[in-house]
Amino acid sequence: MVKADFSKSNHLFLSYPKGFSNDYESLVSFYDELIEIIPNDIHLFIITNTIKIKKTLQAKFRHKQNIDIVVINYWDEIWLRDCMGMFAENQFFKFNYSPNYCSLKNEVKYYKYINKYVKQIIAETASLPVIEIPLNIDGGNFVHNTKRAFMTEKVYEDNPGINVGQIISDYTGIEAIVVPQNPHDVIGHSDGYMAFKNEDTVFISEYQNQSFLKHDIAYINKLKSIAIKNSFNVLPLFDNPVNESINCACKNKKTRSCLYSARGLYINYIRFNNYVIMPEYTLPSNSDVEYNWVNKRWLNSQGFNVIGINCDQLAKFGGSLHCISFQY
């Protein structure tokens, strides 16, 4: 059985962006804080790209005993959720990581490298056979409860003419529930809107009623209807997206950007066991709701031990905590 985010987990993977390109190195202080708040009973694997940085990390975090550092030359990827894969009980499933939006679709050679070395990372850290699934899927577009998975229609764009659902079922036994893609979201990842609490219950974003979110609210309501139709219990998580675009290298666009900041997305959290590391943000004062506090109180009431961390800087790159983490 494939492990879900709510499955029992003891291990967490993160990249450490010292020496990375794309301005990711500006996140070093954020990663330092994140590593410090991870509970000591979680075994942390940190991926970095030089022996020198490995030694720096060993010295910096010598007080934390449960850390292993994996060195992969030229590694430059922070979005582990998308590029890694899925653990099962005695094997590891690996989709092909080949992002197909904005300028990323031109980085074919680099993503072949990433796919190759993910298999090396799994061999070094988990000693499991890697089963390659012949589909292009970002892990952020595969939100599942071990039996059924929500994916947006971006998966069809990434795998034209292929029976995606049949292949997923044949390899993993998981049924694909393919939902519409938000037309205003080029990334098309389902983990930007939903997260399973357990096998029967799914958290789905609930947005504040603001005019610029009109179409997004309609989209969220459609996701809720689909989840209920598929016999899931639906609970809210209180997101407050900010109308904040990110400059990118997209072509043939009328605007300078087609990507948006992840600031205000709380549903994109890290979970292991009864712990949730929850994003916190500095939000515009356009609401009486204090979202950091409300979401922490709400998840506490759902039985979680919530640890907060400010993700303003990370959100500027278009993702949040779930995007950069990978656990089993």
Tokens of 75: 């590694």
Confidence of residue 108 (pLDDT cuts 50, 70, 90): confident
Q: For the chain, give every domain's residue range.
A: 11-327
Residue 69 · residue 88 · CB < 8 Å: no
Helix or strand holding residue 33 (H, E): helix 28-37
Which DSSP letter does residue 149 get?
E
- Residue pointed to by tokens 């060993």: 58
pTM of the model: 0.94
Q: Answer yes or no: is pLDDT of 201 > 70.
A: yes
Q: Tell me the residue ranges of DSSP E strands in the chain.
A: 11-15, 43-48, 67-71, 86-87, 92-96, 130-136, 143-144, 148-152, 175-179, 194-196, 201-207, 233-239, 245-246, 259-260, 270-272, 275-280, 305-310, 326-327
Cα 146–149–154 angle (5° rounding)? 150
Q: Answer yes or no: is pLDDT of 286 > 80.
A: no
Average pLDDT (96-121) is 85
Residue 242 · residue 297 · CB < 8 Å: no
Average pLDDT (269-274) is 95
d(CA 293, CA 233): 24
Question: Cα 248 from chain centroid?
Answer: 20
Confidence of residue 256 (pLDDT cuts 50, 70, 90): very low
pLDDT at 250: 57
Q: Tell me the residue ranges of DSSP E strands in 112-200.
A: 130-136, 143-144, 148-152, 175-179, 194-196
Of residues 103 and 179, more confidently modeled: 179
pLDDT tens-digit series, residues 5-17: 999 999 999 999 9
CA distances from 203 to 45, 90, 188, 230, 231 (A): 28, 29, 18, 14, 14
Report residue 311: phi and psi, to 5°. Answer: -120, 25
11-327 folds as L-arginine/glycine Amidinotransferase; Chain A (3.75.10)
Q: Is 311 helix (H, G, I), strand (E, B) or coil?
A: coil
Residue 213 · residue 65 · CB < 8 Å: no
d(CA 142, CA 3): 12
